[in-house]
């Protein structure tokens, strides 16, 4: 089965088109003002109309309120909502409210952190394992931090899951080999500086994924 690839934190038409044209299965739009990748609803809507139906539009949120989710789903025509730092109860509520596929992001540093994944079974449709960011960080992800992939060796879940955190063109093959993930997600790994995506790095990452 081919490995699916999500390019997250897209903010321009050129980089969005590059991701789609090079075979990304998912494109991510961030709705979190502290992030350098944050989009307004209007910006997200303008980008969303460029996305063909076979590519999933993922909205990325940090414990959002109902109004934010509702408008983002509508304006950006989201296929998936990806929730960070959100309780299982809120995840279940937002999933019911929107009727949209819902992923719970799980921040990982140690094996014990994987226990959090079990708490969202029944609340979310899927999991995204991301690196736990340093204490005091304002962002829950997108900082180029990776965790010990061996923690996922032999991991099984009733939910489908993907891998994020510090992935780039040079290490994605190793990451897939060590974790057996079916979905890889990158943001800072295809940027020149935080929030500024590189068309060339997007192309290189997706080429590496296609070769797996």
- Predicted confidence band at 139 (pLDDT cuts at 50, 70, 90)? low
Distance of alpha carbon 25 from alpha carbon 101, whole angstroms: 15
User: pLDDT at position 137, please?
Assistant: 54
Distance of alpha carbon 5 from alpha carbon 42, whole angstroms: 25
Distance of alpha carbon 119 from alpha carbon 68, whole angstroms: 24
Residue in 93, 43, 41 with CA at minimum distance from that of residue 63: 93
What pLDDT digit, counting tens, does each position of 35-58 carry? 999 999 999 999 999 999 999 999
Residues in CB range of 192: below 8 A, 6 or more apart: 198, 201
pTM over 0.75: yes
- According to DSSP, the residues that pair with 26 across neighbouring strands are 6, 56
- Point out the catalytic residue in the list 63, 66, 75, 130: 130
What pLDDT digit, counting tens, does each position of 75-121 carry? 999 999 999 999 999 999 999 999 999 999 999 999 889 988 999 99
CATH assignment of 4-210? 3.20.20.70
Show me where the domains of the chain are located: 4-210
Q: Residues 50-77, buried b or exposed e (16+ Cβ, 10 A)?
A: ebeeebbbbbbbbebeeebbeebbebbe
- 42, with CB counted inside 10 A (0-12, 13-18, 19+), is exposed
pLDDT at 140 exceeding the cut of 90: no
Whether 130 is catalytic? yes
* 54, 41 contact by CB (below 8 A): no
Residue in 106, 108, 10 with CA at minimum distance from that of residue 58: 10
Q: Tell the residue number behind the tokens 């309120």, with chain if given.
A: 65
The beta strand positions in the chain, using DSSP E, are: 4-7, 26-30, 56-62, 80-84, 101-108, 126-131, 161-164, 183-186, 191-193, 196-197
Question: Which SS3 state, helix, strand or coil, does residue 124 take?
Answer: strand
Whether 8 is catalytic? yes
Distance of alpha carbon 134 from alpha carbon 138, whole angstroms: 9
């Amino acid at each position: 089965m081919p490995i699916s690839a999500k390019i997250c934190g897209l903010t321009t038409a050129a980089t969005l088109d590059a991701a789609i044209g090079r075979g990304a299965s998912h494109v991510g739009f961030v709705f979190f003002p502290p992030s350098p990748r944050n989009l307004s609803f209007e910006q997200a809507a303008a980008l969303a109309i460029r996305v063909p139906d076979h590519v999933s539009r993922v909205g990325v949120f940090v414990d959002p309120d109902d109004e934010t989710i509702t408008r983002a789903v509508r304006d950006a025509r989201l296929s998936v909502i990806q929730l960070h730092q959100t309780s299982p109860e809120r995840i279940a509520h937002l999933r019911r409210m929107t009727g949209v596929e819902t992923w719970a992001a799980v921040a990982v540093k140690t094996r014990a952190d994987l226990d959090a994944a079990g708490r969202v079974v029944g609340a979310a449709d899927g999991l995204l394992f991301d690196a736990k960011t340093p204490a005091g960080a304002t962002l829950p992800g997108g900082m180029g931090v990776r965790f010990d992939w061996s923690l996922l060796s032999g991991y099984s879940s009733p939910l489908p899951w993907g891998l994020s955190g510090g992935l780039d063109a040079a290490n994605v093959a190793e990451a897939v080999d060590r974790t057996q993930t079916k979905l890889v997600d990158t943001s800072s790994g295809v940027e020149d500086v935080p929030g500024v995506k590189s068309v060339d790095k997007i192309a290189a990452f997706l080429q590496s994924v296609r070769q797996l």
